[in-house]
Amino acid sequence: MDCIFCKIISKTIPAKILHETTNSICFLDAFPLTKGHVLVIPKNHCEKIQDMTVDENADLFSLVHVMMSKVDSITGSTLIAIHNGKEAGQEIPHLHVHLVPRDSSDTGGPIHSMFDSSLQLPDSEIEKYYNLLKI
């Protein structure tokens, strides 16, 4: 497999590994958006969250939870981001959770700044998606 994250997991290429568990590993991002930008990934090659097993999911998000305190200690505020698929902005097709320390001087903004405008839906469309998504 030609996945850069799988190569980090197998230690084929070096990375600044911070911690690893049975099913997950975290390391400093090689192309950080801010100082202390961390990636948390499953060891099993999965493209999306829904591709993980329940145990892999629990392990991954437990490691995210543990690392949050460490990352949050840098600036006191952390962006958690997952691009769940190519159309969502995922550049490497191996699930990864970004933990990005944020402060008022960085150039990032809130999630709504990623899009040109707020979507205005008629009530019938809101009802359609409500019925489609509710469990």
Annotation marks residue 83 as catalytic? no
Chain position carrying tokens 């329940």: 54
Among 37, 96, 98, 112, the one annotated catalytic: 96
Give the 3-state DSSP-derived string for the chain, with helices as H, strands as E and coil as C: CCCHHHHHHCCCCCCCEEEECCCEEEEECCCCCCCCCEEEEECCCCCCHHHCCHHHHHHHHHHHHHHHHHHHHHHCCEEEECCCCHHHCCCCCCCCEEEEECCCCCCCCCHHHHCCCCCCCCHHHHHHHHHHHCC
- Give the active site residues: 96
